[in-house]
């Protein structure tokens, strides 16, 4: 049930911010500080999410095969690989390291 | 969704000049651009379907997210937070904050699309990174509208279809971690983040957010550390503002010219 609550809140919230942009008069969100904050907020969130989902399990910090997978993805990004290749490389390397390490 | 193509001009640069430029462009060329982005990114719904199912969400819940939320980064963030045991409120809050950038896309698009008021509630669902990137790159209003619509439609259909296939595939695979699929989520975030890291400001924000996100993880309830890490953004802006106000008291001398728009050529809804 709580999963459905989270889905409902996210769906409504995300839709409303999309609609907000189309409805408010131009200029309302144009203040430089607001714009800069809006540009930096995803950077902070994505960085934290990347780190957490790579280095944590059940609320504790861990170092496992995912770290190798993400390192490979970072290399793919530096080589300007397409998005699907980046994700694919992370998955394959993670699975490979896990198989070699026996779990 | 994640990952618009690299040949789409930067959203941040485009949004700085929301003017309809002179010139024409064949409808077929616009459609080709739009299909390219829509198909490439639409296929990545597979990664979301797998991740969501692997995080313990049901098939129906997974598909509902792609149908109703339709902004990839928020979807990945939500299932990640739920899988980590976060409560629904904090999980939804993280996803919501990631989605706020779409409001700034809508602001630019509303001037370019010039839609009737009655159409806006329907168009709003498609206001995401990829549709914005394609629409802002077009030279005329007609091309903007075609680009937005074709990208939105292609992406919506494919993203939901591949989400379903991914979720079904994950159920068939069983233990998704054994296949390394638990790395798909963070890899997606990294791919979204990479093109945003253009200056020291973004780098510092990302670095502080990582430290906060990992440092607070063992001590705060699941989902809360990510929200705390978001504070890195105002923190860095505040520190920079102080530096720029220097001895002469003149702010904005080295003003941030390149940061006027939401970043993110890639995203996910």
pLDDT per residue of chain B (269 residues) written in tens, 0 to 9: 444 433 344 444 444 444 444 467 789 989 988 888 888 778 888 889 999 998 999 999 999 999 999 998 899 999 999 998 889 999 999 999 889 889 888 888 888 899 999 999 999 999 998 899 889 888 999 999 999 999 999 999 999 999 999 999 988 888 888 888 889 888 988 988 898 898 999 999 999 999 999 999 999 887 789 889 999 999 999 999 888 775 444 444 333 333 333 433 333 33
Residue B40 structure tokens: 């490439």
Q: Domain limits at A77?
A: 64-103
In a domain, B262, yes or no: no
Number of structural domains found in chain B: 1
pLDDT lower than 50: segments of chain A: none
Domain assignment present for residue A91? The answer is: yes
At A74 the pLDDT is: 97
Q: Between A32-55 and B184-193, two packed helices, what is the crossing angle to 10 degrees?
A: 150
| In a domain? residue B120 | yes
Whether residue A31 contacts residue B193, with contact meaning beta carbons closer than 8 Å, is answered with no
Domain that holds residue B44: 11-198
Residue A32, pLDDT score: 85
A75 within 8 A of B191, measured Cβ to Cβ: no
Classify residue A85: in a domain, yes or no. Answer: yes
Distance CA A9, CA B194 (A): 28
pTM of the predicted model, to two decimals?
A: 0.76
Asked whether residue A26 is assigned to any structural domain, the reply reads no
Residue A12 lies in a domain: no
What percent of chain A has pLDDT above 70? 96
Nearest CB among B71, B186, B230 relative to A50 is that of B186
Residue A8 lies in a domain: no
**Distance of alpha carbon B159 from alpha carbon B1, whole angstroms:** 8
Comparing CB atoms, the residue among B111, B196, B207 nearest residue A42 is B196
How much is the pLDDT for B23? 60
* Whether B259 and A94 lie within 8 Å, measured CB to CB: no
User: Residue A38: its pLDDT value, please?
Assistant: 79
Q: Is residue A94 one of the residues assigned to a domain?
A: yes
Residue A83 lies in a domain: yes
**For all residues of chain B together, what is the average pLDDT?**
82
Q: Do the Cβ atoms of B55 and B181 come closer than 8 Å? A: no
Q: Where are the alpha helices (DSSP H) in chain B?
A: 11-15, 27-42, 45-54, 59-68, 72-83, 88-99, 101-113, 120-123, 129-136, 141-173, 184-193, 200-215, 224-229, 232-244
Q: Where are the alpha helices (DSSP H) in A1-103?
A: 2-23, 32-55, 65-78, 83-101
List, as ranges, residues 244-263 from B with C-beta within 8 Å of A. Answer: 256, 259-263
Query: Based on the structure, what is the number of domains in chain A?
Result: 1
Contact B218 A61 (CB under 8 A): yes
């Amino acid at each position: 049930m709580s999963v459905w609550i989270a889905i409902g809140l996210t769906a409504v919230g995300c839709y409303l911010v999309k609609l907000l942009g189309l409805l408010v008069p131009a200029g309302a969100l144009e203040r430089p500080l607001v714009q800069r904050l809006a540009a930096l907020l995803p950077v902070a969130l994505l960085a934290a999410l990347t780190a957490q989902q790579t280095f944590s399990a059940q609320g504790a910090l861990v170092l496992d095969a995912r770290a190798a997978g993400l390192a490979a993805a970072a290399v793919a990004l530096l080589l300007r690989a397409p998005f699907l290749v980046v994700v694919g490389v992370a998955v394959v390397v993670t699975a490979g390291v896990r198989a070699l390490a026996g779990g | 969704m994640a990952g618009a193509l690299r040949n789409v001009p930067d959203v941040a640069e485009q949004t700085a000049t929301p003017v309809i430029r002179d010139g024409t462009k064949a409808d077929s060329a616009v459609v080709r651009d739009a299909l390219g982005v829509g198909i490439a990114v639409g296929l990545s719904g597979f990664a979301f379907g797998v991740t969501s199912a692997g995080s313990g969400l049901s098939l129906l819940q997974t598909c509902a997210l792609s149908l109703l939320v339709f902004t990839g980064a928020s979807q990945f963030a939500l299932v990640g937070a739920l899988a980590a045991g976060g409560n629904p409120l904090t999980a939804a809050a993280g996803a919501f904050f990631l989605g706020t950038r779409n409001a700034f896309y809508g602001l630019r698009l509303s001037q370019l699309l010039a839609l009737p008021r009655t159409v806006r509630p329907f168009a709003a669902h498609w206001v995401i990174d990829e549709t914005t990137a394609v629409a802002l790159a077009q030279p005329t209003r007609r091309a903007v509208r075609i680009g937005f619509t074709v990208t939105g439609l292609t992406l919506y259909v494919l993203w939901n279809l591949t989400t379903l296939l991914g979720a079904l595939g994950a159920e068939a695979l069983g233990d998704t971690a054994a296949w390394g699929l638990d790395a798909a989520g963070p890899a997606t975030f990294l791919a979204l983040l990479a093109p945003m890291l253009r200056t020291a400001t973004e780098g510092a924000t990302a670095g502080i957010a990582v430290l906060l996100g990992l440092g607070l993880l063992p001590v705060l309830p699941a989902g809360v550390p990510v929200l705390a890490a978001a504070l890195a953004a105002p923190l860095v802006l505040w520190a920079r503002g102080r530096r720029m106000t220097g001895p002469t008291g003149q702010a904005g001398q080295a003003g941030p010219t390149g940061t006027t728009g939401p970043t993110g050529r890639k995203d996910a809804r």
